[in-house]
Chain A
Amino acid sequence: MTSETSRFVSKHGIEIPLIRRGSGPPVIVLHGGDGPVDHLPFAERISDRFELLYPTHPGFDGTPIPEHFDNLDDLVFLYLDLIDSLDLQEAVLMGFSMGGWLAAEIAVMNTSRFSKLVLVDSVGIKPGGPFDRDITDVFASPAEDLLKATWHDQALAPDLAALTDEELQIVASNRVAHGLYTWEPYMHNPKLKYRLHRIDIPTLLIWGENDGIVTTGYGSALKGLIPNSTLSVIPDAGHHPYVEQPDQFAGRFLEFTIR
């Protein structure tokens, strides 16, 4: 599978590295708060049918946080520009976790360039009341609790101890960007649930059955707010089902996008 990296430059000089892999109708994949994942096993399984467009959000993977950026809204408008500049047509819009929230925000504004939406263990709404913790506080959780909440099989978690100093600094930088985009209101936009009805393309919610960051109950709440949506739960997977169960993940994706 060949891949090439290009660079989108916004009107305000913000650069987004963009990896393209495979050939076919475009799928734009928005990564989550852990940053871009180099190794996406599911991608190999779909790249003979789709072209994957895989951008890196500013602040992740060693890229700078733009001076005027304060929250996810800044990312939403940057991606609206990027999507226009790519002149995407009939594309699939897919996001993981925070990237799912981002994808939902883009979709409530305008779906004209997209045929389908895929949200994977996505955040973005607050289903419960003020005293309910709907989304695990990833910034205040001890590392071992976070591992348990994130992974069904903790052996698949990245081993921070094996990273070089430089790589670990990138992980630390990713956390800074993650916090910037999601700190308050925590991992959600209170207005989003009043806007999700605008999504007028078929939507698939893929969820890891054992996700402890946002549970399948959270996925059901999201499903209830998006008109033409289905929830597909993958067993033996946590917050990253595309890493833990790549075959299952690719299968659900293909079933939804090709039918």
Chain B
Amino acid sequence: MLDLRAWFFTEDAYPYLPDEDSYESVRVNLPNKHFDPNTGADLYNMYLDMWCAADEMGLNIMNNEHHQTATCMVPAAPIMLGILARETNNARLLILGNPVSNRSQPVRVAEEMALIDVISRGRLECGFVRGVPYEIAPANVYPYRGTEKLWEAHDLITRAWTAHDGPFNFEGRWFHARQVNIWPRPFQQPHPPVWVTMGSAGSAAQVAQRGHIGAVFLAGYPRIRDIFDGYRKGYADAHQTEMPIDRLAYCALISVGKTEREGLKGAEKLLWYMTSNKVPLQYANPPGYHSPAVAATMMRGNSSGTGLPTSTTLAEQMARGNVFAGTPDQVYDQIKNFYEYCGGFGNLMMMSQAGFMTFDETLTSMKLFSEDVYPRLKELTSNYDGGQIREIRARLPDVENVNVSSLASEFVR
């Protein structure tokens, strides 16, 4: 019996962008003269207050990092999480994640995570991600074989967390550390839960084999079955048992209103996250990140894979299963439909603030969610029965009437 866990998430945008025609890209090369430190200070504190409010409402907390971008002001997620480790009391603290393919010192990551885990008395959940393509230029790291590199960093970090008898040696393909003996060690034993993002059946199988939580962002109806099926099969093959439902996580934009109109109005504001992601090809398609087939399609100017769909509508994104919005009843029904369609998941990451959505608007939505939606979702998953959901799922045909050409393939990896 596992209750669904909801994770409040905001990307901490700096939404005050200049006229869109005046800049080439919101990522990588937007001059930071457009960042006003006073406004920034207000925003950071507002976002921290939102996370603290999530803690008080009984929601869990998720944060992440990006670099050289107005879409996410946090270039060092562990620093924000370090503050929240001290400022919050009950929430689980998820970082999703550490871009370990782009970071040169995995041991340092192991140390930072152990520190947060100890300060929070064991509330850390630690994600590892390959990172989106626009992170390549800021990191200056060649993305080819990034997934292999991620797993090498993962192996070193998990060993650093679990080795307690003095230094060990690691000399891998990408990382070298010959005297590893971190202080502190993690609070949780043997180590904090690990999450890894996934975007295909193949990448899902690799996460499943290790038994970690597999997280999917905005794959929607068109892709979710393939990815989650890949995880479930990979898990069953590797562990000879059915996957516990808490191994899967899905992230969507979520807005709950007292009325449908209010919920949809909030969702329109959340769409800023997609529509403001103006990124040119050279940052969206660095060599070695995408497969040649995807890279070629992007060079052709096809929208597939070029990033978040900057011209989209709320109706389209709701139809895809990327946005759940409306009254509490409507949002519950939308999530339940998606849940049954994909075969169930135990973690819901909810981007419930983006762009110009205010503190009050966000808290109203969060409160409605936590009071009127969350309890029903917990009940839904606590009644999870693998056989039963497979029957329900079998009655739901594949959603094929959705145009996947503008799907955000940078998340689908």
Interface residues of A (CB under 8 A from B): 65, 139-143, 160, 165, 168-173, 175-176, 178-180, 183-184
Structural contact, B142 and A160, CB atoms closer than 8 A: no
Structural contact, B299 and A183, CB atoms closer than 8 A: no
Specify which chain A residues have a CB less than 8 angstroms from the CB of B299 in the assembled complex: 160, 168, 171-172
Specify which chain B residues have a CB less than 8 angstroms from the CB of A179 in the assembled complex: 142, 144, 286-288
Specify which chain A residues have a CB less than 8 angstroms from the CB of B144 in the assembled complex: 65, 176, 179-180
**Which candidate, B110-118, B245-253, B276-284, is the interface stretch facing chain A?**
B276-284
Instruction: Give B28 Cβ to nearest chain A Cβ, in Å.
Output: 8
**B137 in contact (CB, < 8 A):** yes
**Interface residues of B, count at CB 8 A:** 20
Instruction: Give A151 Cβ to nearest chain B Cβ, in Å.
Output: 18
Complex formed: what's the CA distance from A168 to B292 in Å? 9
Report the tally of A-B residue pairs with Cβ distances under 8 A. 55
Complex formed: what's the CA distance from A142 to B29 in Å? 12
Structural contact, A172 and B295, CB atoms closer than 8 A: yes
Complex formed: what's the CA distance from A172 to B287 in Å? 8
* Nearest neighbor of B300 in chain A, beta-carbon distance: A168
Q: Which residues 333-381 in B have Cβ within 8 Å of A in the complex? A: none
Instruction: Give A112 Cβ to nearest chain B Cβ, in Å.
Output: 34
Complex formed: what's the CA distance from A143 to B281 in Å? 8
**B296 in contact (CB, < 8 A):** yes
Structural contact, A139 and B286, CB atoms closer than 8 A: yes
**B403 in contact (CB, < 8 A):** no
Complex formed: what's the CA distance from A160 to B24 in Å? 22
Complex formed: what's the CA distance from A65 to B142 in Å? 15
Specify which chain B residues have a CB less than 8 angstroms from the CB of A180 in the assembled complex: 142, 144, 288
Structural contact, B280 and A142, CB atoms closer than 8 A: yes
Structural contact, A176 and B287, CB atoms closer than 8 A: yes
Structural contact, B287 and A178, CB atoms closer than 8 A: yes
Structural contact, A169 and B296, CB atoms closer than 8 A: yes
**B140 in contact (CB, < 8 A):** yes
**B315 in contact (CB, < 8 A):** no
Given known contacts A140-B137, A179-B287, is B142 in contact with A184 (CB within 8 Å)? yes
Structural contact, A183 and B292, CB atoms closer than 8 A: no
Complex formed: what's the CA distance from A169 to B286 in Å? 14
Specify which chain B residues have a CB less than 8 angstroms from the CB of A173 in the assembled complex: 292
Complex formed: what's the CA distance from A21 to B288 in Å? 33
Complex formed: what's the CA distance from A105 to B249 in Å? 50
Complex formed: what's the CA distance from A171 to B297 in Å? 11
**B293 in contact (CB, < 8 A):** yes
Q: Which residues 294-313 in B have Cβ within 8 Å of A in the complex? A: 295-296, 299-300
Structural contact, A172 and B296, CB atoms closer than 8 A: yes
